[in-house]
Structures are given as structure tokens and as C-alpha cells.
């Protein structure tokens, strides 16, 4: 039995299927009011093919 810890986001693009995982960080009790309730969501490549495609696109 395979148990997934994450659910990948698959984007079907002209460059092929790009797979990402994400992480969310929420600043709930900041010292500075300017970051009150700030949430950051970051996407990371879920496989080597996506990482390589992103490197090619970044260089273009």
C-alpha cells in the first residue's frame, strides 16, 4: 500500500506536465503589525523533470 504524504499539483502546459508540492507559512503572532496575518505559499518541483523544465524556462 502506498501512502502519500503530499498531494502534488499537476499543471498541464505546453512544456509538458509540471508537478509541484507546496508549503504554506502563516505569521499569526507577529511583533510588527505590518506582517499581521501574512501568509506565504511556496511551490517546489515535485520531480526532476519539473525542476529541469523550470531551469530551462528561467534561462529563457
- 52 pLDDT band (50/70/90 cuts)? very high
Residue 31 phi/psi, 5° resolution?
A: -80, -35
Domain boundaries, the chain: 9-59
Q: Report pLDDT digits (tens) over 2-26.
A: 666 777 899 999 989 999 998 888 7
- Beta carbons within 8 Å of 26's beta carbon, 6+ residues apart: 37, 38, 39, 40
Q: In what order do the strands lie in the sheet with 38-45?
A: 9-13, 16-27, 38-45
Whether residue 54 has pLDDT greater than 90: yes
What pLDDT was estimated at residue 6? 73
Q: What is the structure's pLDDT at 37? A: 74
Question: 23-39: per-residue pLDDT in tens?
Answer: 888 777 656 666 677 78
Amino acid at each position: 500500500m502506498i501512502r502519500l504524504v503530499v498531494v502534488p499539483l499537476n499543471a498541464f502546459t505546453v512544456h509538458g506536465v509540471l508537478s509541484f508540492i507546496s508549503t504554506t507559512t502563516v505569521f499569526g503572532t507577529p511583533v510588527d503589525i505590518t506582517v499581521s496575518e501574512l501568509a506565504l505559499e511556496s511551490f517546489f518541483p515535485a520531480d526532476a523533470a519539473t525542476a529541469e523544465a523550470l531551469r530551462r524556462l528561467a534561462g529563457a
